[in-house]
Chain A
Amino acid sequence: MVAIIDYNVGNVENVLNACKRLGVDGKLTRDKNEILNADRIILPGVGAFPVAMKKLKEYDLVDVLKLAKENGKKIMGICLGMQILFEKGYEVEETEGLGFLRGYIDKIPTNQKLPHMGWNDVDGDDYYFVHSYMAFTDEDTKYAIYGDVKIPAIVKKDNVVGCQFHPEKSGQVGEKLLKKWLYEG
């Protein structure tokens, strides 16, 4: 079972829909035992960094996720769910994140249009992005190029991976990436 963390931050249903299309048993949950017993954990999210952290705390999920991470459980963060994997966020106000990945989140430093919205390529494949904030990190990272900014698109460390784009909204390419992560050993 794949636990999709249900913490009231927007469109989590579509991650569940994607799991179903890929034949994976996904479940929206905020139950501690279900999360700790799941094979994998997806942390979705749309909205603002401080709101997401507030909700995680409200549902007592911060320690649960930290325990799951220490247990070596595979965790994927998507979009805002990726951003809160980092140590800190500066959206609206300085907020502490989960700290699974080194670095912080701040506004995309560009004069170009924001949000960075639409399809952009990472290693030759196009994924759907929609965000105005990005990671500043020295972890193992794959980038998307937006004007003169290198936007961290996939950040990996041990059992944790973050995707700034929405694989569940990125057509066949996104499903392929999700499937690979869902089925890999």
Chain B
Amino acid sequence: MLKKRIIPCLDIKDGKVVKGVNFVNLIDVGDPVLVAKEYENQCADEVVFLDITASSDNRETIYDLVKRAAKELSIPLTIGGGIRTIEDFRKILNCGADKVSINTSAIKNPNLIKEAAEEFGSQCVVVAIDAKLIDGKYKVFVKGGREDTGIFLEDWVKQVSDLGAGEILLTSMDGDGTCKGYDIPMLNVVCDLVNIPVIASGGCGSIKDIINCFKETKSDAALVASLFHFGKATVSEVKEEMIKNNIPARIV
């Protein structure tokens, strides 16, 4: 049986984990590779690095980082942030990333999804979508939720899926950073529309939120950040709770 995945996500700036990570009994860790390896040991199913480095001068740091991470990790690694062209895809994949996540660049040039899927296979094309409820309609946002694209979420997910995306990473901007739980209604809308895997993101504040997400939606995976980074829970604890609730989970 296919397992529901738990995916820790690290925000990375200039090759370092933003704000650091505080594991239980461990003080501030800044190296993304060390952090990712620790999550792998805790039974994380995949890891996502989201590069938020603003300056394009520092692009090389992410390539070095991906190479180093690929040597150490034996679980899939997704890289997001700053990927705009097919050549960017190629570079990141050649460094050893398994998947590439695109967001704004897909909105600007939807054909990038198709080109990347044809060139490298759908399995490595993750389309990240940030959405918000505006006057009763879900709208797609960019720039960290500051800019309304005017595109309806339902239209965009269908288009993304038709263009050959392998996976959708759906972040509810209403939930992100609130720790009030995943956006169940929004996830259900998207899961019902497409027949590709959906990763839930935004709003996770507790293990219970993850359990609710899997019980109340058809999401295939849950993206988790602060819950793990602040040492409030380990991946293993989440997995134990999933098993108790009859949600299929990988344990070692």
Whether B175 is near chain A, meaning CB under 8 Å from some CB there, is no
Name the contact of B123 in the complex, choosing from A112, A115, A120, A172 (C-beta under 8 A).
A115
CB pair A118 B98 closer than 8 Å:
no
Contacting residues, chain B, for A131 (C-beta < 8 A): 123
Q: Are A117 and B197 CB-contacts (below 8 A) given A46-B121, A47-B120, A171-B40?
A: yes
Chain A 141-185 interface mask (CB, 8 Å, partner B; 1/0): 000011000000000000000000010111111110000000000
Most chain A CB atoms below 10 A, which of B5, B40, B94, B98: B98
In the complex, what distance in Å separates the CA atom of A171 from the CA atom of B252? 9
CB atoms of A115 and B122 under 8 A apart: yes
Contacts of A18 in B (CB 8 A): 74
Residues of B within 8 A of A21 (CB): 71, 74
Docked-complex contact B252 and A120, CB < 8 angstroms = no
For chain B, the count of residues having a C-beta within 8 Å of the partner chain is 30
Evaluate contact between B96 and A11: CB separation under 8 angstroms.
Answer: yes
Q: Which of B5, B96, B195 contacts A118 (CB 8 A)?
A: B5
Q: How many residues of A contact B (CB 8 A)?
A: 37
In the complex formed, the residue of A with least CB distance to B44 is A171
- Segment 92-140 of A: residues with Cβ below 8 Å from B: 112-121, 126, 128, 130-132
Partner of A10, one of B93, B122, B252: B93
Cα–Cα distance between A166 and B76 once the two chains are bound (Å): 10
Known: A14-B96, A47-B120, A173-B252. A118 touches B75 (CB 8 A): no
By the criterion CB–CB under 8 Å, are B71 and A172 in contact? Answer: no
Most buried by B among A10, A18, A112, A174: A10
* 7 pairs from A and B in contact (CB 8 Å cutoff): A10-B93, A10-B121, A113-B195, A117-B123, A117-B220, A120-B2, A128-B76
